[in-house]
Structure 1
Amino acid sequence: MAKTIHWGIIGLGNIAHKFATDLLTVEGAKLYAVASRNQEKADTFANKYKAPKAYDTYEALAKDPNIDAVYIATPHALHHENTILCLEHGIAVLCEKPFAMNADEVEKMIAKAKEKNVLLMEALWTYFLPHYQYVLKALKSETYGKVLKLEADFGFNRPFDDTSRLFNKALGGGSLLDIGIYPIFAALSTLGKPNTIEAEATYFENGADSSCHMVFDYGKDVKANLKSTLIEDTATEAIFYCERGTIKINTMFHMPTTVTLIPKTGTAETIDFNYKTIGYNYEAIHFTKLLQERKTESDVMTIEFSRQLIKTLDQVRNLINLEY
C-alpha cells in the first residue's frame, strides 16, 4: 500500500479552510498538524478538521518530524520565508499562488528545494481542475483550429479597506498578484510566452493597484486581452476564439465551472463537469501522489512554468510602475 501522507497547514485563513475541507476527501492523505500565530485559532481549526496537532508558531510545525507535506496559505509576502523554513526541515511544500512576491524570491525557493532534494510546487489549483484540463486538451488538439484571440478577466467590486490583506500593498495586495494572476495563467498555459506585453493600471490611495489591463501579443495577429479589477464586477470568464469556433470557460473560470463549445456552424453545447467538492482536492491528490512516488517536481505545475509565471508578473509590474 502507498504511504499515507501526513499534511500540515501554515496560515489558517479562508483558503486554508477550503483546502482542509477537500483534503478530507483525498485518499492517502491525512491532515496531521496546523499552525497559526494564535494558539486558540490553531486549536479551533485542528478540532474542526480532526488534526492531531495544533501549533502557535510556524517553526514548531516545521520541526515536527511526522509531517511529510505542508500547504502554505499565508499572505503573499510570507510565502518565500515560510517555504524556505519548511524546505530546510525536509518537508515538501505546496505553496499558494503567487509563489512569492517576485522572481528573485522564487529562485531562492527553487534553489533550496533542489539543495534539499524536496518536492516543491505552486498551488495554482485551476491547472488541476477537470474543466480546465478539458479545455487544454481541446486547444492542443485544435478542436476548432488554432486560437486567434483570448479574452480573460477576473473582477469584483470590493469597498476599499486599508485594514484588509486584499488592499495591503506590503502583503502583495491589489488586483495583479491576487486575481490578475489567473488571466495571466490562462494565457501562459494555453498560448505560452508572449512576444510583447502592454499594460496599464489604476491605483488606490495607498498605492495598491485597483485594476490592471494587459495585452499579450503573440504575433500573427494572435493576442490575449487580460484584465483584473477590484473596483468592478466582471464576467470572470476565459474565452478562446478559434478558427472554427469558440471555447468559453464560463463565469468564475478559475474555479469549478462549466465550459461552452460554440462552433461557427452548428449548435452550442455546455459541458457540466459535475463537481462534488470545492475543487482543491485535485491539486492535493496530485501532490500526494507525487510524494508517494518520491517525485521532486510536478509534471503539470512545473518549476519552469512557475518561473515563467512570476517573471511575467514582474514584467507587468515594471510596466505599470508597481513596487512592493
Structure 2
Amino acid sequence: MQSKIYNWGIIGLGKIAKKFATDLQSVERANLKAVASRSIEKAEDFAQDFHAENFYGSYTELINSPEIDVIYIATPHVFHKELTVECLKAKKAVLCEKAFGMNKAEVEEMIATAKKENVFLMEALWTHFTPHYNSVLEIIQQKKYGKVKSLTADFGFKAPLDFNKRLFNKKLGGGSLLDIGIYPVFAALTCIGMPQKIDASAQMSSTGIDEECVINFEYKNEVTASLKSTLLEKTPTECVIELENATVKLTSRFHQPPSKIEITLTNGDTQTIDFPVHTLGYNFEAIHVQEMLDLNRIESTIMTFEKSLNLISLLDEIRNKIGLTY
C-alpha cells in the first residue's frame, strides 16, 4: 500500500481550477499545499475557500517552494508551455490543462524538458479518465458491436460577447477550437485514430478567433468523423458512434460525468447505462497522476506523450485549414 502524501500546487485560479480544487479534496493522499495567482488577493481568497495551506502572488514563488510535489497548471493556453518548462526545471511534476500548448512545437519542447529533467508531465484531458468514456473505449477496442463506421460529436454554448474576455481574446489563445473543439477532436482521435484527410471551415470573429468551427475527418474504408465547436449557440454536446451492429451515444455534455451511454442495436433494442459519479470528475485524473508518481514514471500510461502530440498535430492542421494563427 502506498502511503505518500502528495503536496499539490495550483497555478491559475479561474473556473477550472476551482472545480479541480473541489475534487482534489476527495482524493486520498492529496494535499492542496499552495495556490498562486498574479493577484495576491485572489490567491488568498482561493486558499481560504479550498483550505490551501499557502498562497502566493506570483507563480514562480509557488514553483520554487520546496514543499510542492506536483503542480496543476490552469492558466490560459498561451502560458502553458512557459510555466510547464519552469515547473519541470524546478523538478516539479506537472498536470497541465488542455490545450497542452499553442502548437506542436511548444508541446515537443514541454515533453523534451520532462524527459531531460526526468520529471512527470501529463496533459489534463480529464475526459480520458472518466468511467463512462472508458466504458465506450472498451466497447470499441473489443469490437463488441463491430468496427466503427462513423462518429459525430459537437460542443457548443452561447458565449457572452465580450472581447475583453479570454474566449474572444486572440492574445490569450481564444476561440472555440482550442477551448471546446478539442473535445470532439479528442473523441475522434481516441475512438478511431489519426485521419487520412482533414477538412475544416470556420466563422471568425472581429478579433480574429474562430467563433465556430466545423471539421470533417476521413479515414480508410470510408470511415468518417463529423465534428463541431461553437461559441454562438448551445448545442446537444453529444458524441454518437455508429458501429457495424449498434449505435453508441454519449449523452449531453459527453466529455464530463455524470453521463449516460445509450446503446441501440440494429434490431432496435436499446440499452441505457448510467455512470453515477459523486464528484465533478476531475478527481480521476488526479488519482492517476499520483499512481504514476508512485511508480516514478515521467509519462502517463493513458494520456501518453504520443497522444498529446497527435492531438496538437490535429489542432494545428485544423487551424491551418481555417487560417487561424496566434
Same fold (TM over 0.5): yes
- Counterpart code for 2:129: F
1:29 matches 2:30 = yes
- What SS does the corresponding residue of 2:211 show, helix, strand or coil? strand
**CA RMSD for the aligned pairs?**
0.8
Query: Which residue number corresponds to residue 175 of structure 1?
Result: 176
Structure 2 counterparts to residues 1-324 of structure 1, below 5 A = 1-256=2-257, 257-324=259-326
Q: Which moved more, 1:70-79 or 1:155-164?
A: 155-164
1:169–1:207 Cα contact (<8 Å) kept: yes
Q: Which moved more, 1:260-269 or 1:213-222?
A: 260-269
The ranges of structure 1 where at least 4 consecutive aligned residues each deviate by more than 6 angstroms after the TM superposition are none
1:10–1:36 Cα contact (<8 Å) kept: yes
In 1, the alpha carbon distance for the partners of 2:183 and 2:309 equals 15
Deviation, structure 1 residue 266:
4.6
- What SS does the corresponding residue of 1:20 show, helix, strand or coil? helix
String of CA shifts for 1:109-160, please: whole Å, max 9, x gaps.
1111111000000000000000000000001111211110100000112232
In 2, the alpha carbon distance for the partners of 1:157 and 1:23 equals 29
**Number of residue-to-residue matches in the alignment:** 324
- What SS does the corresponding residue of 1:25 show, helix, strand or coil? coil
String of CA shifts for 1:177-215, please: whole Å, max 9, x gaps.
000000000000111100010111111111110111111
- Counterpart code for 1:214: I
In 1, the alpha carbon distance for the partners of 2:58 and 2:127 equals 30
In 1, the alpha carbon distance for the partners of 2:44 and 2:97 equals 22
In 1, the alpha carbon distance for the partners of 2:116 and 2:212 equals 38
- Counterpart code for 1:9: I
In 1, the alpha carbon distance for the partners of 2:77 and 2:132 equals 27
1:39–1:55 Cα contact (<8 Å) kept: yes
In 1, the alpha carbon distance for the partners of 2:285 and 2:302 equals 10
Deviation, structure 1 residue 221:
1.2
1:2–1:292 Cα contact (<8 Å) kept: no
- Counterpart code for 1:293: L
Deviation, structure 1 residue 267:
2.2
- Counterpart code for 1:156: F
String of CA shifts for 1:68-107, please: whole Å, max 9, x gaps.
1000000010001111111110000000000010111111
Question: Which consecutive residues of structure 1, in runs of 5 or more, have no partner in the other structure?
Answer: none
In 2, the alpha carbon distance for the partners of 1:141 and 1:290 equals 26
Identity %: 52
1:5–1:292 Cα contact (<8 Å) kept: no
- Counterpart code for 2:141: K
In 1, the alpha carbon distance for the partners of 2:251 and 2:268 equals 20
- What SS does the corresponding residue of 2:227 show, helix, strand or coil? strand
- What SS does the corresponding residue of 2:262 show, helix, strand or coil? strand
- Counterpart code for 1:203: M
- What SS does the corresponding residue of 1:220 show, helix, strand or coil? helix
In 2, the alpha carbon distance for the partners of 1:231 and 1:23 equals 32
Deviation, structure 1 residue 228:
0.6
Question: Which consecutive residues of structure 2, in runs of 5 or more, have no partner in the other structure?
Answer: none
In 2, the alpha carbon distance for the partners of 1:2 and 1:305 equals 30
Deviation, structure 1 residue 2:
2.5
